[in-house]
């Protein structure tokens, strides 16, 4: 049983909070009770960390105190940091002494801090070394059309679709902001097509900065991949670019700009594409389908929290929002009948947040991910998803009542060196007592083995165990930050999660911009980094790429790595074969871990591979590879 659970976790979600041999009953249960111990926590101190302060961790209501014993142990090396405040509240408008430090321009707006998390002493008044940006910052939002909820655009082969990015007015939790939208909608239009169709999309840019559209996960013609500087010029404001998009794979995909994603995507430029297989039995029968885009926004008392204009801010951990959204709404709701099985197509469109979705304890069947179904379906207590990934899951609502959809994770407070259970309600599902019109309980309880997926994978199995053709190391170089911050971070590295579920140090994260932070993909064979890497493959090559995430860097973090234009299998994690095979385009490489990908280099062109944390991409974490035609 233990092995099965552990495998399920690792297989489905690359969830790394489960150490080898650690019993895991149910993460959902665990979250309510106590957080699971961190895996490979910190350098050589795993033993000490594991016992650190789990018993003293806060409940999800935020009550209780940190395990002082563990905290004291953990902070033992921090005597030099004794000036750090413990008591101050979060947001402050004060101009601290940091404002006079070189490069630390004073400003009145400070990053919002979560309740109970103090701002680091000496850092008050500090600000990122960038000018700030919000669209139409001084304009009356009433000038802009109110965005409307997403509509479905069903396109047939040969159709042309107009897609316009523009400024829109959005109201979230009763507050009004100027944001971006595709065709005035949030999320952007849901494009629904049949597999193997080709459509034309005329993209017109009406926002206030250059943009483009990347068709994430779609193995299309390289010219239309939407990557400025690589496949096209950025589309200037007022200009149009015409994309030809061919859909060779069934499943759930998404589109977004490939220019300043940290701003444009965060402000609403994203939409899904559902590609339907011609096989009517491609998925199991269900009572309904729901398409969920998971997102977050950072909002303070004044409104949307501004972005770095000349360089991205929040480049250490990415911009975590403090308002969690499903399809742009803070209170998602679904009504179903008792016994209904609902298929959810889930996409993580947030800049950096990984999610662990629990559907009120109702059983979840994991069906498909980025570019294909799973070879073997599996039941799971929750769905873990990281930026740009997709999961297709089916949930059986067999009991009447109202159930929360929660994000149930293990949070980390870097300042206090404390892990805690964090449970946020994203929405609700109300199950009416009236039974379903049709019962699909039997189909739901049957775990399918998808022979089409097995057949597709068969010819790649011979390569599963070959030595890696390429090896990448993921690491970071941070320079030029204020001395107290650097000192803190060098100690803070003792507290990290293989997956960063929250921002445990928003103030330090905010101040770190792309000017100070360089995230690195390093080719271990050549020592080349990021855009100096120049891999060449032949169309039809099957390439084993071993990616390891340096746990010794200044601030290690899990990276969702995305390869454009191709598909890959995750064949092993830390040398352990992955029993849950499916074609993917994005995979999380947790801190301190190694992931082996088998890349199907099927699609010619010059493509990008990068971390899909928007701020890491802005901080250099991208490379190119070329697939030469046969
Ligand atoms: Cu990253």
Q: What tens digit of pLDDT does each residue of 294-326 get? A: 999 999 999 999 999 999 999 999 999 999 999
Ligand 1 centroid–CA 493 distance in Å is: 16
- 152-156, 485-489, 620-624: which has the minimum mean pLDDT? 485-489
Ligand 1 centroid–CA 577 distance in Å is: 24
Ligand 1 centroid–CA 469 distance in Å is: 22
Ligand 1 centroid–CA 610 distance in Å is: 8
Predicted confidence at residue 122, as pLDDT, reads: 65
Ligand 1 centroid–CA 588 distance in Å is: 9
- The predicted model scores a pTM of 0.83
Asked if residues 26 and 381 have their Cβ atoms less than 8 Å apart, the reply is: yes
Asked if residues 495 and 504 have their Cβ atoms less than 8 Å apart, the reply is: yes
Ligand 1 centroid–CA 475 distance in Å is: 9
- In this prediction, residue 496 has a pLDDT band, given cuts at 50, 70 and 90, of low
- In this prediction, residue 30 has a pLDDT band, given cuts at 50, 70 and 90, of very low
What is the 3 state secondary structure string of 409-461? EEEEECCCCEEEEEEEEEEEEEEEEEECCCCCHHHHHCCCECHHHHHHHHCCH
Alpha helices in 199-346 (DSSP H): 261-264
Predicted confidence at residue 35, as pLDDT, reads: 34
Ligand 1 centroid–CA 311 distance in Å is: 16
Greater model confidence, 102 or 274: 274
Angle CA 591–592–597, to nearest 5: 85
Per-residue DSSP letter, 5 = H
Ligand 1 centroid–CA 309 distance in Å is: 20
Ligand 1 centroid–CA 619 distance in Å is: 9
Ligand 1 centroid–CA 599 distance in Å is: 20
Ligand 1 centroid–CA 611 distance in Å is: 5
Predicted confidence at residue 76, as pLDDT, reads: 25
Ligand 1 centroid–CA 88 distance in Å is: 31
Ligand 1 centroid–CA 594 distance in Å is: 15
Ligand 1 centroid–CA 255 distance in Å is: 19
Predicted confidence at residue 500, as pLDDT, reads: 77
Per-residue DSSP letter, 386 = -
User: Quick one: what percent of the chain has pLDDT higher than 90?
Assistant: 68
Mean pLDDT of the chain: 82
Greater model confidence, 35 or 182: 182
Ligand 1 centroid–CA 558 distance in Å is: 6
- In this prediction, residue 478 has a pLDDT band, given cuts at 50, 70 and 90, of confident
Same fold flag, 141-285 and 458-628: yes
Among candidate residues 489, 510, 608, the one with its CA nearest the CA of residue 555: 489
Whether residue 237 has pLDDT greater than 50 = yes
Ligand 1 centroid–CA 312 distance in Å is: 14
Ligand 1 centroid–CA 315 distance in Å is: 9
Beta strand 340-348 pairing with 288-297: parallel
- In this prediction, residue 490 has a pLDDT band, given cuts at 50, 70 and 90, of low
Asked if residues 521 and 474 have their Cβ atoms less than 8 Å apart, the reply is: yes
Ligand 1 centroid–CA 230 distance in Å is: 20
Ligand 1 centroid–CA 269 distance in Å is: 20
Greater model confidence, 34 or 541: 541
- Tens of pLDDT along 326-383? 999 999 999 999 999 999 999 999 999 999 999 999 999 999 999 999 999 999 999 9
Tokens of 327: 């399809």
Q: Which residues pair with 228 in a beta bridge?
A: 232
Predicted confidence at residue 5, as pLDDT, reads: 27
* C-alpha torsion sign, points 38, 40, 44, 47: positive
- 401 sits in which H/E element: strand 401-413
- 3-7, 415-419, 482-486, 611-615: which has the minimum mean pLDDT? 3-7
Ligand 1 centroid–CA 359 distance in Å is: 28
Ligand 1 centroid–CA 521 distance in Å is: 9
Predicted confidence at residue 287, as pLDDT, reads: 98
Ligand 1 centroid–CA 313 distance in Å is: 14
Ligand 1 centroid–CA 139 distance in Å is: 34
Predicted confidence at residue 72, as pLDDT, reads: 27
Stretch 408-412: mean pLDDT, rounded? 81
Rounded to whole angstroms, the Cα distance separating 591 from 500 reads: 9
User: Quick one: what percent of the chain has pLDDT higher than 70?
Assistant: 78
Whether residue 20 has pLDDT greater than 60 = no
Predicted confidence at residue 128, as pLDDT, reads: 82
Predicted confidence at residue 97, as pLDDT, reads: 33
Ligand 1 centroid–CA 400 distance in Å is: 41
Among candidate residues 568, 562, 566, the one with its CA nearest the CA of residue 589: 562
Ligand 1 centroid–CA 316 distance in Å is: 9
Ligand 1 centroid–CA 559 distance in Å is: 4
Ligand 1 centroid–CA 473 distance in Å is: 12
Ligand 1 centroid–CA 327 distance in Å is: 24
Greater model confidence, 246 or 27: 246
Homologous superfamily in CATH for domain 458-628: Cupredoxins -  blue copper proteins (2.60.40.420)
CA within 13 Å, CB half, 288: 16
- Tens of pLDDT along 77-103? 222 222 222 222 223 333 333 333 333
- In this prediction, residue 614 has a pLDDT band, given cuts at 50, 70 and 90, of very high
Ligand 1 centroid–CA 557 distance in Å is: 7
- 62-71, 141-150, 184-193, 591-600: which has the minimum mean pLDDT? 62-71
- 288-297, 498-507, 577-586, 620-629: which has the minimum mean pLDDT? 498-507
What are the φ/ψ torsions at residue 230 (nearest 5 degrees)?
-125, -50
Ligand 1 centroid–CA 616 distance in Å is: 5
Ligand 1 centroid–CA 300 distance in Å is: 25
Ligand 1 centroid–CA 568 distance in Å is: 19
**In the block, which residue shows the tokens 């004794």?**
82
Whether residue 6 has pLDDT greater than 70 = no
Ligand 1 centroid–CA 150 distance in Å is: 29
Topology at the third CATH level for domain 141-285? Immunoglobulin-like (2.60.40)
Ligand 1 centroid–CA 613 distance in Å is: 5
Ligand 1 centroid–CA 518 distance in Å is: 10
Domain ranges of the chain: 141-285, 458-628
Ligand 1 centroid–CA 519 distance in Å is: 7
Whether residue 161 has pLDDT greater than 60 = yes
Ligand 1 centroid–CA 247 distance in Å is: 28
Whether residue 404 has pLDDT greater than 80 = yes
Predicted confidence at residue 420, as pLDDT, reads: 76
Ligand 1 centroid–CA 561 distance in Å is: 7
């Amino acid at each position: 049983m233990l092995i099965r659970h552990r495998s399920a976790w690792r297989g489905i979600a690359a969830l790394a909070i489960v150490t080898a041999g650690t019993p895991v009953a149910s993460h959902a249960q665990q979250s309510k009770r106590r957080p699971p111990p961190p895996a490979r926590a910190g350098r050589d101190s795993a033993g000490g960390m594991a016992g650190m302060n789990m018993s003293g961790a806060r409940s999800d209501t935020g009550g209780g105190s940190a395990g002082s014993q563990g905290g004291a142990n953990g902070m033992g090396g921090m005597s030099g940091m004794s000036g750090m405040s413990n008591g101050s509240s979060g947001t402050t408008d004060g101009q601290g002494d940091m404002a006079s430090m070189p490069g630390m321009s004073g400003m009145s707006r400070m990053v919002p801090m979560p309740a109970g998390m103090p701002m680091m002493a000496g850092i008050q008044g500090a600000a990122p070394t960038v000018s700030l940006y919000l669209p139409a910052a001084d304009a009356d939002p009433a000038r802009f059309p109110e965005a409307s909820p997403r509509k479905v655009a069903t396109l047939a082969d040969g159709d042309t679709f107009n897609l316009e990015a523009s400024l829109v007015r959005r109201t979230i939790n009763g507050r009004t902001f100027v944001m971006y939208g595709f065709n005035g909608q949030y999320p952007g239009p849901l494009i629904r097509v049949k597999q193997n169709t080709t459509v034309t999309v005329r993209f017109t840019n009406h926002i206030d900065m250059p943009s483009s559209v990347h068709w994430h996960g779609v193995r299309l013609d390289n010219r239309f991949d939407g990557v400025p500087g690589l496949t096209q010029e950025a589309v200037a404001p007022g200009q149009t670019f015409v994309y030809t998009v061919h859909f060779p794979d069934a499943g759930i995909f998404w589109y977004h700009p490939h220019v300043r994603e940290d701003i444009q995507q965060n402000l609403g430029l994203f939409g899904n594409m559902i590609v339907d297989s011609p096989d009517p039995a491609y998925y199991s029968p269900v009572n309904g389908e729901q398409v969920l885009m998971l997102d977050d926004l950072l909002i303070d008392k004044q409104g949307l929290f501004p972005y770095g204009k000349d360089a991205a801010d929040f480049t250490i951990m990415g911009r975590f929002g403090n308002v969690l959204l499903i399809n742009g709404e803070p209170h998602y709701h679904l009504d179903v009948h008792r016994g209904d099985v609902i298929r959810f197509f889930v996409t993580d469109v947030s800049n950096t947040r990984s999610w662990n979705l629990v559907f009120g304890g109702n059983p979840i069947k994991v069906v498909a991910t980025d570019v294909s179904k799973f070879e073997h379906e599996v039941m799971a207590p929750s769905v873990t998803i990281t930026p740009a990934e997709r999961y297709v899951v089916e949930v059986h609502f067999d009991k009447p009542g109202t159930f929360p959809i929660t994000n149930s994770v293990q949070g980390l407070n870097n300042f206090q060196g404390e892990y805690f259970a964090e449970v946020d309600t994203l929405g609700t599902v109300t199950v009416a007592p009236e039974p379903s019109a049709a019962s699909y309980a039997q189909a739901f309880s049957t775990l399918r083995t998808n022979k089409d997926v097995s057949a597709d994978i068969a010819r790649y199995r011979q390569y599963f165990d070959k030595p890696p053709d390429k090896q990448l190391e993921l690491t970071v170089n941070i320079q030029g930050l204020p001395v107290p911050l650097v000192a803190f971070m060098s100690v803070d590295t003792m507290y990290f999660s293989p997956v960063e579920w929250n921002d445990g140090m928003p103030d330090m994260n905010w101040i770190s911009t792309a000017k100070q932070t360089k995230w690195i993909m390093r080719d271990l064979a050549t020592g080349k980094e990021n855009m100096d890497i120049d891999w060449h493959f032949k169309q039809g090559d099957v390439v084993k790429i071993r990616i390891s995430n340096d746990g010794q860097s200044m601030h290690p973090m899990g990276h969702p790595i995305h390869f454009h234009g191709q598909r890959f299998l995750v064949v092993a994690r830390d040398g352990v074969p992955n029993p849950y095979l499916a074609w993917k385009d994005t995979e999380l490489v947790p801190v301190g871990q190694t992931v082996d990908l088998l890349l199907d280099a099927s699609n010619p062109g010059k493509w990008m591979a990068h971390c899909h944390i928007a701020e890491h991409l802005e901080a250099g974490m991208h490379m190119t590879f070329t697939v030469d035609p046969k």
